[in-house]
Amino acid sequence: MTGTPHDPESAVIAARGPSGSSDPETDEIRDLARSAGYRIAGEITQTRTEDPALCLGSGKVDELARLLERTDAGVVVFDNRLGPYQTYNLGTRLPDGVNIVDRFRLILDIFGQRAQTRTAQLQVELAELRYELPRVEAKVSLAKRDERPGFMGLGEYDESREQDIKNRISRIREELAQIEEEEEKRREQRRESGFDLVALAGYTNAGKSTLLRQLARDLTIDENENQHPDLDATAESEDRLFTTLGTTTRRVDMDRRDVLITDTVGFISELPHWLVESFKSTLDAVYRADLVLLVVDVTEPIEEIREKLITCHDTLYERNEAPIVTVLNKIDCVDEDEWKRKMNALSALAPNPITVSAVEGTGTDGLLDRIDRELPPFEHERLVLPMTDDTMSLVSWIHDNARVNDVTYGEQVIIDFEARPSVVEQSRSKAGTLTIPAE
């Protein structure tokens, strides 16, 4: 088809649901498209079995083509996964110059826009390569089967491209593995310094970044930037998807403990396993935490919340041993009867949840108390130390890394405190190196 130039920033949404179901919901794909920078010009939906050649039925594709012509939209965003030949066939039926983007290509585009750190950029590239690989493999397989190396541009180029993709995937995995190893060392350094590690998990737009701002100290972080270069004094909180792609770590303002809380990339519906696996390095911040706060948008329908909780649990419990506390967020947007009804309905999946409004700060004191209770318990210790300059340094270190109940100074120094087991162990080791002064 030919026609006037189409607007590359204007998009039409296309969504197909299974036969016998209700019309497909398009709220999420619309939000995704807006996050990618598109203006929504219209939408087409259909309920039917998948057409293997076009995804939609032939008549609906004709309707989509007319809508694109009428709106001058330059992009059609499918809330479905399109195979390479479905994309090719659609391109022959839609206006010239219209870009066809399926759900996962759109997500990868958004990730690419958000990726700022080296880790995030590598993860995006890995996901894109894993998305492209089966398409290249399909072309190579077809060319070999038909013995037509030049068919549709197939041939030696595609075989070379296939091997290049596999080699690049291997190199990225090696680099990400090295980064993960460095991150794990950093986490252990923090634990040895007396920090508890808390991770925020949940779906996009559940309010994780807003909650982080409520829980964390508002000003600069009391951390050495060289020691903890990922710590960020700000956490973006906007009403759009994927504002957090990498991880943002900040210090939580708690009296009893030193806690670092990390905001991670949000889950999203129907992500394929290969895409989740590509972002394993980011999710490691969740898997390696001492406590996970699973943030849920309580304004959503019960069935939708239930499905999201099941998906999150399947992902988190696969590799995570830390306790998980469900946080029902946005209670300022629903009345008390509604959020209580939802809390009861979800009790099997989210026993004893915490309710908060991250925007207004309601319930955050109770959440901090719950964090304190769920984190590994403190051990009690009482050390009797010689009165030396080195002892004063140790007492100062214990003050920085533990909760000191009492210190008595005399011929000896007696310090009574509570701390994480790792801090107690370190204090005993440091105490063992102190030399009793000669008389």
CB proximity list for 222: less than 8 A, separation 6 or greater: 251
Q: Are 231 and 225 in contact (CB under 8 A)?
A: yes
* 164 marked as part of a ligand binding site: no
* 99 marked as part of a ligand binding site: no
**Up-side HSE of residue 250: CA atoms within 13 Å toward CB?**
25
* 296 marked as part of a ligand binding site: no
* 44 marked as part of a ligand binding site: no
Q: Are 237 and 213 in contact (CB under 8 A)?
A: yes
* 203 marked as part of a ligand binding site: yes
Strands (E), 173-257: 195-202, 248-252
Q: Distance between CA 241 and CA 114 in Å, rounded? A: 10
DSSP string for 151-195? GGG-SHHHHHHHHHHHHHHHHHHHHHHHHHHHHHHHHHHHHHTTE
Per DSSP bridges, beta strands 258-263 and 248-252 are antiparallel
* 330 marked as part of a ligand binding site: yes
- Residue 5: C-alpha distances to residues 11, 87, 182 (Å): 14, 20, 50
Whose structure tokens read 């318990």?
Answer: 377
| 3-class DSSP assignment, residue 10 | strand
- Residue 437: C-alpha distances to residues 276, 392, 393, 414, 432 (Å): 59, 14, 15, 16, 14
Whose structure tokens read 């993960």?
Answer: 180
DSSP string for 98-114? -EEE-HHHHHHHHHHHH
- Residue 94: phi, psi to the nearest 5? -100, 165
* 207 marked as part of a ligand binding site: yes
Find the angle CA(116)-CA(258)-CA(233) to the nearest 5 degrees. Answer: 30
Q: CA dihedral defined by 102, 108, 111, 117, rounded to 10 degrees?
A: -170
* 264 marked as part of a ligand binding site: yes
* 208 marked as part of a ligand binding site: yes
Q: Distance between CA 359 and CA 206 in Å, rounded? A: 11
Q: Distance between CA 50 and CA 34 in Å, rounded? A: 26
* 206 marked as part of a ligand binding site: yes
- Residue 58: C-alpha distances to residues 39, 48, 53, 426 (Å): 26, 12, 9, 70
Q: Are 246 and 120 in contact (CB under 8 A)?
A: yes
- Calculate helix-pair angle for 280-287, 302-319, nearest 10 degrees: 90
* 401 marked as part of a ligand binding site: no
* 430 marked as part of a ligand binding site: no
* 329 marked as part of a ligand binding site: yes
CB proximity list for 437: less than 8 A, separation 6 or greater: 386, 387, 388
* 98 marked as part of a ligand binding site: no
Q: Which residues define the annotated binding site for Mg(2+)?
A: 209, 244
Annotated binding site for GTP: 202-209, 263-266, 329-332
Q: Which residues make up each annotated binding site?
A: 202-209, 244, 263-266, 329-332
